[in-house]
Amino acid sequence: MRARRSPEPYLWLLFSGGGVVAALVLPVLVLLFGVLMPLGIVDWPAADHLRGLLDHALVRVALVVVVVLCLFHAAHRIRHTSEELLGIARFDLPVALLCYGAAIAGGVVAVRLLG
């Protein structure tokens, strides 16, 4: 009997890779741009300075990788959690398509912004 190929292992791989990336980079970014700067505790950097950072090819590539991995991580977890919380595991295929589809759409947005 031939084993049926399943995308699940790759999805789990993306999930855990995204989990590590999200853990390492997101808290500090949210802390700075989402909390400290809006509250005025830290000054916003000059627009030119941030623009300069984004002009580095390395920063752009890193940002795209961060966006794609984190979105896949979130999509995978939201897929499973919504199925367990709401009891909709019967609709796994549409739920999965919706979650991963949204992640792919976000990745496309990132590539178009930074490409």
Binding site for other proteins (CB under 8 A): 8, 12, 15-16, 18-20, 22-35, 37-39, 42, 44-45, 47, 49-54, 63, 66-67, 70-71, 73-78, 80-81, 83-85, 87, 89, 106, 109-110, 113-114
DSSP-assigned states of every residue in 56-93: SHHHHHHHHHHHHHHHHHHHHHHHHHHHHHHT-GGGHH
* Least distance CB 80 / other proteins (angstroms): 7
* Least distance CB 12 / other proteins (angstroms): 8
- Pull the structure tokens for residue 28: 């500090």
C-alpha R_g of the chain:
18
